[in-house]
Amino acid sequence: MNHPNEKVMRELIEYTAKKAGKQSQATGCFILKGNKIVSKAISSTQKSQDTTAHAEINAMRKLSKSRKNNSLKGYWVYSTQKPCPMCASAIVWSEADGVVYGWEGKKGWVDVYFKSLNLSNVVINSSRLKKVKMIGPFLESECLKIKGYKK
Ligand SMILES: [Zn+2]
């Protein structure tokens, strides 16, 4: 599969909006192996009272548990939002092949949040020998709608 894949991102947007329901600030994540979506999750920090329960981390945990392996070599991560420094670090550590993200994360409270954690994916990614391809923003306006923002 070539990345970014519009069909996958649109499916992720639909999945995230449906799963989130009335939950505000939801982010969604799919992990793909080839053409197959092998893990799906949304963020659940408030629901699970877990600061690390971002969509990317939740999807990675599910997949690692089912595979009994934490490597994402050969996998692609799709997120409705640019991965934060925590998630970007986890993705880089897992050696995923690439990331496609929806919106840049520069709107409303997230802008404040990113400024307070001012560590870019480029810096995190540059610290590893194996670079993770980062593609985005992709279908940003559609991804922003999940957050309730109008661009
Ligand atoms: Zn995150």
pLDDT digits (tens, 9 = 90+) for 40-62: 999 999 899 999 999 999 999 99
Q: Pull the structure tokens for residue 29.
A: 């994540």
Instruction: Tell me the pairing of strands 133-135 and 36-42.
Output: unpaired
142 tagged catalytic: no
Question: How far is the centre of ligand 1, averaged over its atoms, from the C-alpha of 2 (Å)?
Answer: 24
CA 99–ligand 1 middle distance (angstroms): 13
Farthest-apart Cα atoms in the chain, separation: 41
* pLDDT interval class at 151 (50, 70, 90): very low
Pick left, alpha or beta for residue 27 (phi over 0 → left; psi -120 to 50 → alpha; otherwise beta): beta
Q: Is 112 helix (H, G, I), strand (E, B) or coil?
A: helix
Is the model's pTM score more than 0.85?
Answer: yes
Closest by CA to 25, choosing from 34, 36, 16, is: 16
Average pLDDT over the chain reads: 86
pLDDT at 96 over 50: yes
Confidence of residue 107 (pLDDT cuts 50, 70, 90): low
Which of 6, 14, 56, 140 is labelled catalytic? 56
pLDDT of residue 3 exceeding 60: yes
